[in-house]
Structure 1
Amino acid sequence: MAITIKDVAKRSGVSISTVSRVINNSKPVSSDIRQRVMAVIDETGYVPNTVARSLVTKKSQVIGVIVPDMSNIFIGELLNGIEEVGKMYGYDILLCNSYGGAEEELRYINLLQSKQVAGIIFVSWRIEDKHVQTIKNTGLPCVYISKNAKDFDVYSVGIDYYKAAYEMTNYLVSKGHKSIAFLRSRFEYTNEESDRFNAFKNALDEHGLKIDYDMVKAGHITSESGYNMMCEILDSGKRPDAVFATNDETAAGAINCILDRGLRVPEDISVAGFDDTRVATLIRPTVTTIRQPIYDIGAVSIRMIIKMIKKETIDAKVVDLPYELVERKSVK
């Protein structure tokens, strides 16, 4: 049976309110009583109820984090940054995995409010008005991490996705590639709703190149999806000079399909990715990609939310961190 604050008070020979004052350091307590209570806590292994404690102190040291897919490599690295910096400032993380479902995300927002968290870091493949409004209604500070966070008047951390995709497209064209397939990771919305697709299209337009929409595919953020999208293109009789995938897992799947069809990368078809997760260096050939500072995005987001909680000055509402185009072996 779990030890309660009542048990600690009884063993210490003091009142429950005195134990509470010792735990929360809310009011002066004599040193001998404090030592006696702490000795019982150590002996019994009593763990204070964090929700009850936050009600007493009016402060919570827990930050809620909602993510769309805990198994995703990008999300894992993001969480490393969030958790490690949170610990530095004395905050714990309450993690919710929404599996990318909008209704599940809304449910978790309300759940985190009921858990008395101090703030929310909301990571989503795509933010909608109902997300922003629901979080606003909680009154909790929130930092958003999403490709389309800039479409809303919210605090957010990321990179300039349009500029990065534009740079990668120009890079592929500069290598002599004119017929470029585009594999993106979210089929739920249209091409025109994707910053990366718009950057891709505009860069090609500026070079007088036209998009072949038969070589524009949308799927999931998995290597299996990348494999299937690439095979669909090749099996239709199309053969692009290059492929631009909007994440490294999709790029890895595309490379495997090309090899399985008896073609070579990059000699026959070049492949570029996005993110620079560890997948980019595990597959052969290693993937030319856009390096996002994934850990730093997580670290900056939790530092921002802590500043909001403490009502400290925040230099910028929207933070774009630097990215880098990393050349490896998958593009000739």
Structure 2
Amino acid sequence: MNPTIKDVAQKANVSIATVSRVLHNLGGYSDKTKQKVDQTIKELKYQPNAIARGLINKRTQTIGVLFPDVSSTFSSDLLHGIDEFVHDRNYSVMVCNTDQDGKRTLKYLQLLREKQVDGIIFSSEVLKQEYYDMLESMKVPVVLVSSQTDYANVPYVKVDDYQAAYDAVDYLITKGHCSISMISGTKGDPIAGTPRVEGYRKALEAHGIPFASRYLVYGDFSYESGCRAMEAILRRTPEITAVFAASDEMAIGALSVVTKHGMNVPEDISIMGYDDLRLARMVNPPLTTVRQPLYDIGMIASEKLISMIETGEPAESQICTHSIVERQTVRAIT
């Protein structure tokens, strides 16, 4: 039979309330008492029961995180920040892979309802009305990451995608590039697709460079789509001197295709990404990119969510600062 919190209290010669306070880091006990309780927990191999805890404080100390693609480096970098913060606050993370088209989103929201999670981080997907209605019925707080909504009670944490793309293209233009192709994310995507395309177009316009539709190719943020898009660019617009990709994975795909065709980056074509994933530092040559601080975004979103869970108070949305990270895939044209 598994040991109970009562067994721990009896063996450590303290009250059940004291054991509970030690488990939840609530204070009100001496260091000596904490050491005695911790040692007893180890000796008895006691495992706190999440369901029992939930009956007491109405919480399971669990949050749900929904990603369209949990295998992507983007999701991994975000999750690292999320997990780091929630672990320090004694929460656990349940990760759900909703798939690119969101066809599993409602299914996973129902699962998270059944698991009685305390809150949800919703990443990189439009918060549709049906999702919002489900979340409202669950009566748990939610924070959006790398997404945005007009629902007043749903805060979001992201960078300004329009401005970040504008700054990336402006950077290429200041390096002397006038023929700049863009590999966009999913066509019509209002979160990370359309705003980045608009930033690209406005930066060209600001420098008196006309927009040419043939220079704009759509992908889906993945490495494979970057490869396909770069093949199309080399066929259709061989005169381009630079490519701005709306994700690092697509930029790395473009880089691999350019190399496969016997060309050099940045001598023949400059390539710039978006995200500053860990992969951007690993490729050869290292990728110049727009940095969105994914780890920090994950941490901030977790902090906001846990604050909402524990205080019942709303949280403010936050736009995080992006920056240009110069490495070795963009050259200046003199």
Equivalent residue of 2:274, what SS? Answer: coil
Equivalent residue of 2:311, what SS? Answer: coil
Does 1:321 pair with 2:320?
yes
Equivalent residue of 2:130, what SS? Answer: helix
Asked if the contact 1:182–1:215 (Cα under 8 Å) also holds between the matched residues in 2, the reply is yes
Q: Which runs of 5+ in 2 are unaligned?
A: 25-36
Structure 1 pair 190–113 and aligned structure 2 pair: CA distance change class (3 A): closer
Does 1:309 pair with 2:309?
yes
Asked if the contact 2:292–2:322 (Cα under 8 Å) also holds between the matched residues in 1, the reply is yes
For the aligned residue pairs, the C-alpha RMSD in angstroms reads 3.2
User: Could you say which residue in structure 1 is the equivalent of 2:32?
Assistant: none
User: Could you say which residue in structure 2 is the equivalent of 1:290?
Assistant: 290
Measured in 1, the distance between the counterparts of 2:303 and 2:280 equals 28
Asked if the contact 1:191–1:198 (Cα under 8 Å) also holds between the matched residues in 2, the reply is no
Structure 1 pair 41–90 and aligned structure 2 pair: CA distance change class (3 A): closer
Give the counterpart letter for 2:277 in structure 1.
T
Asked if the contact 2:161–2:192 (Cα under 8 Å) also holds between the matched residues in 1, the reply is no
- Please report how far the alpha carbon of residue 119 of structure 1 lies from its aligned counterpart in structure 2 after TM superposition: 0.8
Which region of structure 1 is more displaced relative to structure 2, 302-311 or 227-236?
A: 227-236
User: Could you say which residue in structure 1 is the equivalent of 2:82?
Assistant: 82
User: Could you say which residue in structure 2 is the equivalent of 1:273?
Assistant: 273
- Please report how far the alpha carbon of residue 306 of structure 1 lies from its aligned counterpart in structure 2 after TM superposition: 1.0
Q: Deviations over 1:172-191 (max 9, x none)?
A: 11222122111123246489
- Please report how far the alpha carbon of residue 157 of structure 1 lies from its aligned counterpart in structure 2 after TM superposition: 0.8
Equivalent residue of 1:273, what SS? Answer: strand
Structure 1 segment 1-332 matched on structure 2, within 5 A = 3=2, 45-147=45-147, 149-153=148-152, 154-187=154-187, 189=189, 194-236=194-236, 238-311=238-311, 317-332=316-331
- Please report how far the alpha carbon of residue 105 of structure 1 lies from its aligned counterpart in structure 2 after TM superposition: 1.4
Structure 1 pair 94–285 and aligned structure 2 pair: CA distance change class (3 A): same
Q: Which runs of 5+ in 1 are unaligned?
A: 27-36
- Please report how far the alpha carbon of residue 298 of structure 1 lies from its aligned counterpart in structure 2 after TM superposition: 0.5
Equivalent residue of 1:116, what SS? Answer: coil
Measured in 1, the distance between the counterparts of 2:123 and 2:286 equals 28
Q: Percent identity?
A: 34
Q: TM-score, with normalisation over the residues of structure 1?
A: 0.83
Asked if the contact 1:68–1:97 (Cα under 8 Å) also holds between the matched residues in 2, the reply is yes
Q: TM-score, with normalisation over the residues of structure 2?
A: 0.83
Give the counterpart letter for 1:127 in structure 2.
L
Measured in 1, the distance between the counterparts of 2:126 and 2:139 equals 21
Asked if the contact 2:214–2:237 (Cα under 8 Å) also holds between the matched residues in 1, the reply is no
Measured in 1, the distance between the counterparts of 2:161 and 2:150 equals 13
Measured in 2, the distance between the counterparts of 1:262 and 1:152 equals 50
- Please report how far the alpha carbon of residue 78 of structure 1 lies from its aligned counterpart in structure 2 after TM superposition: 1.1
